[in-house]
Amino acid sequence: MAIDGQLEVRDIYTAYDKADVLEGISLNVVPGKITCLLGSNGAGKSTIIRSILGLTPPRAGSISFGDKDLTGLATHKIIATGIACIPEGRKLFPKLSVEENLHLGAYQETSKDVVRQRIEQVFEIFPRLHDRRLQLAGTMSGGEQAMVSIGRGLMGAPKLLLIDEPSLGLSPLFVKETFKIINKINEQGITVFLVEQNVHQTLAIAHYGYVLSKGQVVAEGESAVLAENSEVREAYFG
Amino acid sequence: MDIGFLGQYVVNGLMLGMMYSLVAVGFTLFFGVLDIIKFSHGDVLMVGAFAGLTTFFGLEAIGIESAWIQLVTIVVVSCVLTGILGSMIGKYLVLPLKSAPALNTLLITLMAGTVLRECIRLFFPDGSNPKPFPSLLPSESYSWGNFTLRLDSLMLLIFGTLVIVAISLLINKTKLGLAIRAVAQDGETAKIMGINFTLVVIVTFAIGSGVAAIAGIMNGLYYNEINFDMGLLLGVIGFSAAIVGGLGNIYGAILGGFLFAGLQTFGAVALPFASAYKDVFAFAVIIMIMAWRPTGLIAERTSERV
Ligand SMILES: Nc1ncnc2c1ncn2[C@@H]1O[C@H](COP(=O)(O)OP(=O)(O)OP(=O)(O)O)[C@@H](O)[C@H]1O
Ligand SMILES: [Mg+2]
């Protein structure tokens, strides 16, 4: 039974060359909630995102979003089902302006008016980007680049937003701000799948979480429960 | 040297520069989106010229005599056919080799170019000899002293300029152009934006090839002759122009095209006793520029790609 707006990853195996990086991952991203994925460096978190997006398609297993089977689809078709991504390391187009980067976030939106409206909405969240809309993204500061990347992820008005380590390389103050914004995005009805290493703050806003280690899910549960979980405590709270 | 003769050289140089730029733009577009060198580009141009000539024969055969209708039809048919040829090369020869070393793509497109050239030589009626290309443009000319400006040259120059402006607008002002630039900078992130990567690459190949067809037809109209191996030298020159301008940058390609033509023209003027050496002179200077600025005049670092 497909649940509308739910992302379901079922027993996927994903490899880059030969060795599997993901060894039978299953998880659900419940609509309207923030689901998080924790795990140390190299656990395979970004690989899960790449698998969902079809950038590194799984060699086995299946992925579906609502009633749509995403397995084997080209990336642009997966995006068309209402998924957007704020990738690890921002991945802005450095030689395009802030505005052009935002436009690309709404590439599949055909109405110019809608795109313009959404850009205005992004400028409301990040007024700083309005002042710098013609600046080349590559010349922005790290924090500003993070804003562009988040704004670009919202431009497509996705049902589901995949966010890969948004706090990477940001000052503690801006990290806090970022988590607030993610929470706000979710409150507006966008389902969030959040990959993070920042355990405290992530579990504070997430409803449900998975813990990944060496390509396998080693723990899962409601955030509050997960925070008390001994394995998680061992791995993260030392 | 008489000022009128000099003017003649300038017009000729501009004409060459225009054709070289149009070829170089293709090289730079292909490199932009896929980081590859497509060595069949010159031969695709040649096919474009022959497609134009064939269209002309076809129109004559069905009794369409108006030079303007002929001209427009020739350009449109040739651009479309050549665009299709270019996108097929992109789809079936270049894209499948995306994860292979770039050298393999170079080799396979080099061979594809040879196949095209030999096909025209063997299968086009009397294909191994130069073919007269019809003069479809008005033949009036205006003279000021020693300087004669042919109306057809002027029209070709204006048309070439329009094509260059159109490409630049397409790349910089349209949604397709934005997608091409995004793919050029980061193909994977472009996919995450929902861009159909394969389609953008194929369309880019079609555009670059269609533009080459225009250069091929300009060449035919200007010299009133086309040849099965015309793409060889034009390809090498277009490639050099793209490299010297800074591969991946369309303004660099245009600059490189006119620079090469300027050098050739200068060689022909400065070495009147040995104007046959103008190509040698131009290539020698290009080699020196490359030694001076190995990444091209407009280096990719400092400029927007494509
Ligand atoms: N493009 C690639 N080619 C080959 N191996 C890769 C590639 N990308 C990732 N890997 C390997 O896959 C494994 C998981 O990487 P992944 O990027 O998914 O980890 P991660 O959990 O996101 O780590 P981090 O927290 O450091 O971002 C690592 O061992 C990594 O070396
Ligand atoms: Mg990662």
Residue A78 Cα distances to A16, A88, B191, B199, angstroms: 20, 18, 10, 16
Q: In what order do the strands lie in the sheet with A60-65?
A: A20-29, A7-15, A60-65, A68-69
pLDDT computed for residue B8 by the predictor: 84
pLDDT per residue as tens digits for the range A221-231: 898 888 887 66
Residue among B189, B194, B197 whose CB faces A108 most closely: B194
Task: Report how many domains make up chain A.
Answer: 2
Q: What is the pTM of this model?
A: 0.91
pLDDT computed for residue B1 by the predictor: 60
Q: Are residues A76 and A166 in the same domain?
A: yes
pLDDT < 50 positions in chain B: 301-303
Residues of chain B contacting residue A96, judged by C-beta atoms under 8 Å apart: 178, 181-182, 185, 304
Domain holding A60, by residue range, is 1-82+159-171+190-238
Q: What mean pLDDT is reported for chain A?
A: 91
Q: Are B85 and B47 in contact (CB under 8 A)?
A: yes
Q: Are residues A229 and A136 in the same domain?
A: no
Closest CA to B167 of B34, B16, B25: B25
Closest CA to A42 of A197, A231, A210, A163: A197
pLDDT computed for residue B303 by the predictor: 47
**CATH number of the domain enclosing A22:** 3.40.50.300
Q: Are residues A65 and A163 in the same domain?
A: yes
Rounded to the nearest angstrom, the minimum Cα separation between B180 and chain A is 11
pLDDT computed for residue A140 by the predictor: 92
Q: Containing H/E element for B56?
A: helix B41-61
Q: Using 50, 70 and 90 to split pLDDT, how confident is the model at A99?
A: very high
Residues of chain B contacting residue A76, judged by C-beta atoms under 8 Å apart: 191, 194-197
Q: Are residues A109 and A145 in the same domain?
A: yes
pLDDT per residue as tens digits for the range A152-197: 999 999 999 999 999 888 888 889 999 999 999 999 999 999 999 8
Quickly count: other Cβ atoms within 10 Å of residue B239's Cβ.
Answer: 24
Cβ within 8 Å of residue B242, ≥6 positions away: B24, B25, B27, B28, B31, B252, B253, B256
Q: Are residues A66 and A167 in the same domain?
A: yes
- Annotated domain spans of chain B: 13-126+140-228
Q: Are residues A61 and A115 in the same domain?
A: no
Q: Using 50, 70 and 90 to split pLDDT, how confident is the model at A236?
A: low
Q: Are residues A143 and A167 in the same domain?
A: no
Q: Which residues surround ligand 2, an ion (CB under 5 A)?
A: A 45-46, 88
Asked if A93 lies within 8 A of B185 by C-beta distance, the reply is yes
Residues of chain A contacting residue B186, judged by C-beta atoms under 8 Å apart: 91, 93
Residue A32 has pLDDT above 90, yes or no: yes
A179 in any annotated domain: no
Residue A100 has pLDDT above 70, yes or no: yes
- CB of A21 closer than 6 angstroms to any ligand 1 atom: yes
pLDDT per residue as tens digits for the range A37-56: 999 888 999 999 999 999 99
Q: How far apart are CA A68 and CA B73, in angstroms?
A: 46
Q: How far apart are CA A69 and CA A12, in angstroms?
A: 14
Residue A135 has pLDDT above 50, yes or no: yes
Question: Nearest chain B Cα to A161, which residue?
Answer: B192
pLDDT per residue as tens digits for the range B135-194: 988 888 888 877 888 888 999 999 999 999 999 999 999 999 999 999 999 999 999 999
A148 in any annotated domain: yes
Sign of CA dihedral B35, B36, B38, B39: positive
